[in-house]
Amino acid sequence: GYPFDAHPMSVLAAMSVSLSAFYPDMDDIDPEMQVDFAVTRLVSKIRTITAFQYRHMRGEDFVNPSYKLSYCENFLNMLFSSPVLDYKINPLHVKALNQLLILHADHEQNCSTTAVRLTASSEANLYASVSAGICALWGYKHGGANQAVIEMLEEAIANGWSASDMVEKAKDKSNPYLVMGFGHRVYKTFDPRAKVAKRLCKEVLGESGDQDPLLTLALELEDVATKDQYFIERGLYPNIDFYTGLIFRRMGIPTNMFTTLFAIGRLPGWIAHWLEWKKDPYGKIGRPRQVYDGPFVRKVHDIKER
């Protein structure tokens, strides 16, 4: 098996493509006849693999899914239930997780979706294509940003930095410091998904009545940054990653598993893009063009002179 300390995204990517070995029928699937069952199976198994990886990291026995529970209820139950402790599924956590997965479902031609489409264009099956998307999502500039936000907030609290300190550090051109969770390739104003995530964050973290220092700092950082001319001029506003990590953390999900939840949420979008290519009668292999940027004339010494 995999090492206990293996990164969950590495295991998820490997296990996803391994499904091809157990379901070889995916290589010859008819997109009109068999796809519904195959898609349902994949959406279910990605969630189960993620939960099993969490149990494996902790050295705990696996918990099988239950037909009595909904998709998100099942996931939380597979993560946290125990034979010796009575685990009660929190309905607010189910609501938040369900909405966050929907918010992540698709977002046009992003890095991981492009990876899925390019892989699919080679006639690779659904499992291989999704595994490519998971690998692309792994990077902190894409799916790993919510983990980076938590690490940034924890670092600031550990060092006694205020929200203003963080903003000033980010504005200092001689300082490589970045405020994570701000800015987006598409949105030059407040990410509409972030507004929903912020509301859910306040609900989930406010349920216990205690004051979470990370949420307090995050709200202060949003307030300071969105009023700062430097951030306004550059269109740097909170994106969806800014609040999702705080929600996952309160649910008890470890930081290194945040991106796996992003993958679960994005999976329906990847599948839709894979199907779109699969049903295209003119589906050609993807081959992005490159533009050469370099010297056009180079003096090359004769081989005898070298």
CB 79 within 8 A of CB 54: yes
CB 198 within 8 A of CB 133: no
Enter the tokens of residue 188. 């030059």
From CA 12, how far away is CA 9, in angstroms rounded?
Answer: 5
Q: Helix, strand, or coil here: 238?
A: strand
Q: What gap in Å lies between CA 186 and CA 202, rounded to an integer?
A: 25
Q: Evaluate whether 71 touches 50 at the Cβ level (below 8 Å).
A: no
Residue with tokens 């940027």: 293
Q: Which residues contact 171 (CB under 8 A, 6 or more apart)?
A: 228, 230
Question: From CA 41, how far away is CA 62, in angstroms rounded?
Answer: 19
What residues are labeled active site?
A: 184, 241
CA distance 136 to 263: 10
Q: Read off the tokens for 41.
A: 């199976």
CA distance 43 to 215: 31
Burial degree of 42 (CB within 10 A; 0-12, 13-18, 19+)? buried
